Structure 1
């Protein structure tokens, strides 16, 4: 057979994702803040888009709701097409951290130092709404002092010699956010053309700055600086500080021998260690944490079902200005201007439809999650059911990847607190009696409760926990118990026994 080149025409069908379809998919996984930024950019580019005025925004008064009964709610109950908003108005850890040495210590959160402050600023949910005679109290408050500013003030007061002040400034530049000096002294000396003794002298002065413990090069030095100010850095305490790894392992017998103290003295020393601040610079971490704004709100209805609604604060308020389009389109001078206006109108309509579809999808997924996890909302984490993305996707007729995008970085406000939507998806652990499977999160909570309730004379090993869980119907392996325990920063039974016996002997 002879080979020859020829032309052939063939018809075929293929699924192609248009740029607008790809953008619609991106909108699903945007957080509230990311979505607002995207809309701001679109409004800046498109003259036919505008923010809805508060008085024109029906979202706040007609948020989408669903009465999802625990067992009878269906996927079609979640949306009504005649709602006003649908188409027209759419929002170090240190190497040996002492808080982790004793995770059950109730006073850990109170020992961050007297300088730790939090500054909060209320955020208005009205978007572009403003008042000509109003003001924001947060704008009048003084800004938080940063670690660099705090240190710079003390450097200026502590060093009269310009050369020493320059060295101190270089040392300050080597501070991390916890207040530790991470710069290399030899490198600083070489860069400034001085000797290491001058750098060491400047460091010694800087280590007297407030808060005490700043400019330490490791945890042991940080604690030593604080103990020295309190006149508590005696030989026994020095030995304890030099063996923090034994303290982390709760090897109290070895510590008593090394420090040359009895059990009562060791407990007093541990109490002093706990009162110190292992991260003195964190008091100047600066800035307030952003509060989580829930995308979905769930509350109990009078008939025992659940009312599910989208949070109006997270719904974008965007309108298409058809009046402006009708006014300017007749005055288009050429085809280029006509095409530009037509494209702007098309993009504006697409954006409002995409935002509408995004809101529907979030509400639909959230409604199914509430239906699946009704027992958790009523009784707590022990009744959290095993759930995966495919189960929700099959129930509401969506693709698994769509559910994954919807649940990413979205939060739900429930009577039991605020949870990320991903929290409700947990692995399944088989039942030893052949019944319903157990959620891994519920099993973690059960393990924590068993350990919290154990007595000093009867500390539970991982094998004992496995036996108790199997008696209650949970078929779990020992390595899984160990993994969950370590994930919750709970030490082994040997370490817990040492600590509990030491505390019990001191009458605590």
Structure 2
């Protein structure tokens, strides 16, 4: 049978995501800061949107239906101000001097200038933004460049110094390969190391170090404390990390008291000297949902109204403008703006209702946690919450992303409550993985130097006390995830503290 092209007409059914539906889905996973930025951008782009802050629903409804005054009956204040002329002409019209009308305009040059020029281009004379006068923050690169320019006089050395500055990380460490840098600059490694030795004296002390040991040694040399024994200690920082003070004492030939004094001196140093110039903005966490105890001892869940963007659609303005527009392109633009404005208001309302619905279900399932603490945290997954509220699992995942809930137990990210389940050995209710981590930390914190618990011992205690069937390797995984050392390291730490 020969293959020939042909045209067929078929009817099929399929689910497709429209651009507006995809945008609504993206709104769910935005934090309140990202959502505010998105709404502000829409307010600038769409003339039919306006802020509803300070306007209640009833007043907003009345505003949408009140008639718009005829533009011919209004006076443009800006144009009127521009027609006022100079201060001298106004004073002449009042048959007086400029100083009587405008006391602040006693300078002849200012008096003869037009009104708009005297106010600096601002018709209403608003004060300039104070942010314009805020000094720029000094970066680590600019701070070091000023010092290198004074320390190095030869242009070739300054070029090498500039390249070294550009290869610093946020800690102030130099992680670049000097051989590759020498090849790029067309010089030798010895020349780069000579420049590096000079600029390592820059402030803050410790910058341009290539390792932690070198960073600490630069600071100790500045304090005139880099003796041979301290240098030997810096060469064996791996033993310090595991708190093997016995092996360290034998390797460097120092007593336990000398090692304790040197370690105390190292703790006073700064292992990241470049962090003093880290001016990354710190954003305070603002809860999206508040959970409070009601009078009837039930839980009251409400959205944080302070961070919810409230916008209105100015239909009166749309009706007045679209009736006077004759251009088809302008009408199309206005219709698109109206549709976008209606979509945004509906999407914001739907987003708020979805967050409230998910938060309500989280509080319902974690009632024991709110009453008794983390040891009663129940295992919960996205699937269980989605099944209870009749939504898709991906929707719940987007809603809980970057959202925070304030409870009497503290401020938590919504995803904190979603933990895996560990089977109970007695056949009872499953245990939350987060509650098991909390119990492991409690056991480690109450250890004594003479009774350090191994991973097997911790697993046995959890099974005996709470009926949690957990393997030793799972305990080790949870312990490492909480940055808790092994039993050997913990024994050395506690023995060093006792000494």
Normalised by the size of structure 1, how large is the TM-score? Answer: 0.79
Q: Deviations over 1:5-52 (max 9, x none)?
A: 987765443333222222221211122232223323333333212222
User: Residue 54 of structure 2 aligns to a residue in which SS?
Assistant: helix
Show the 5 A alignment for 1:379-418: 379-418=372-411
Show the 5 A alignment for 1:44-443: 44-52=44-52, 54-56=53-55, 141-443=134-436
Q: Name the CA distance, whole Å, in 2 between partners of 1:240 and 1:388.
A: 49
Q: Name the CA distance, whole Å, in 2 between partners of 1:132 and 1:187.
A: 58
Structure 1 pair 342–438 and aligned structure 2 pair: CA distance change class (3 A): same
Q: Deviations over 1:198-225 (max 9, x none)?
A: 4323212211122221111111111111
Q: Deviations over 1:111-147 (max 9, x none)?
A: xxxxxxxxxxxxxxxxxxxx99789887765443211
Structure 1 pair 258–357 and aligned structure 2 pair: CA distance change class (3 A): same
Superposed structure 1 runs of 4+ greater than 6 Å apart: 1-8, 131-139
Q: Name the CA distance, whole Å, in 2 between partners of 1:57 and 1:231.
A: 69
Structure 1 pair 23–144 and aligned structure 2 pair: CA distance change class (3 A): same
User: Residue 26 of structure 2 aligns to a residue in which SS?
Assistant: helix
Q: State the match for 2:459 in structure 1.
A: 466
Structure 1 pair 487–7 and aligned structure 2 pair: CA distance change class (3 A): closer
User: Residue 296 of structure 2 aligns to a residue in which SS?
Assistant: coil
Q: Name the CA distance, whole Å, in 2 between partners of 1:192 and 1:7.
A: 65
Pairing partner for 1:483 from 477, 487, 491: 477
Unpaired stretches in structure 1, ≥5 consecutive residues: 59-81, 89-130
Q: Name the CA distance, whole Å, in 2 between partners of 1:23 and 1:175.
A: 40
Unpaired stretches in structure 2, ≥5 consecutive residues: 65-123
User: Residue 168 of structure 1 aligns to a residue in which SS?
Assistant: helix
Contact 1:237–1:259 (Cα < 8 Å) also in 2: no
Contact 1:182–1:217 (Cα < 8 Å) also in 2: yes
The Cα of 1:300 is off from its aligned counterpart by 2.5
The Cα of 1:4 is off from its aligned counterpart by 9.9
Q: Name the CA distance, whole Å, in 1 between partners of 2:46 and 2:438.
A: 51
User: Residue 472 of structure 1 aligns to a residue in which SS?
Assistant: helix
Contact 1:144–1:287 (Cα < 8 Å) also in 2: no
Structure 1 pair 166–10 and aligned structure 2 pair: CA distance change class (3 A): closer
User: Residue 211 of structure 1 aligns to a residue in which SS?
Assistant: coil
Q: State the match for 1:105 in structure 2.
A: none
Q: Name the CA distance, whole Å, in 1 between partners of 2:490 and 2:338.
A: 67
Q: Name the CA distance, whole Å, in 1 between partners of 2:495 and 2:125.
A: 66
Q: State the match for 1:39 in structure 2.
A: 39
The Cα of 1:480 is off from its aligned counterpart by 0.5
Q: Deviations over 1:361-417 (max 9, x none)?
A: 011101111111122223222221111111111221212121111111111122333
Higher relative contact order (CA 8 A, sep 6+): 1
Q: Name the CA distance, whole Å, in 1 between partners of 2:170 and 2:5.
A: 70
The Cα of 1:258 is off from its aligned counterpart by 0.5
Q: Deviations over 1:92-123 (max 9, x none)?
A: xxxxxxxxxxxxxxxxxxxxxxxxxxxxxxxx
Q: Name the CA distance, whole Å, in 2 between partners of 1:177 and 1:478.
A: 38
User: Residue 287 of structure 1 aligns to a residue in which SS?
Assistant: coil
Q: Name the CA distance, whole Å, in 2 between partners of 1:8 and 1:300.
A: 64
User: Residue 308 of structure 1 aligns to a residue in which SS?
Assistant: strand
Normalised by the size of structure 2, how large is the TM-score? Answer: 0.80
Structure 1 pair 144–374 and aligned structure 2 pair: CA distance change class (3 A): farther
Contact 1:295–1:310 (Cα < 8 Å) also in 2: yes
Structure 1 pair 136–466 and aligned structure 2 pair: CA distance change class (3 A): farther
Q: Name the CA distance, whole Å, in 2 between partners of 1:194 and 1:387.
A: 61
Pairing partner for 2:486 from 492, 498, 507: 492
User: Residue 154 of structure 1 aligns to a residue in which SS?
Assistant: helix
User: Residue 385 of structure 1 aligns to a residue in which SS?
Assistant: coil
Q: State the match for 1:62 in structure 2.
A: none
User: Residue 367 of structure 1 aligns to a residue in which SS?
Assistant: helix
Q: Name the CA distance, whole Å, in 2 between partners of 1:404 and 1:164.
A: 55
Q: How many residues align?
A: 437
Q: Name the CA distance, whole Å, in 1 between partners of 2:42 and 2:386.
A: 31
The Cα of 1:333 is off from its aligned counterpart by 1.1
Q: Name the CA distance, whole Å, in 2 between partners of 1:452 and 1:484.
A: 15
The Cα of 1:463 is off from its aligned counterpart by 0.6
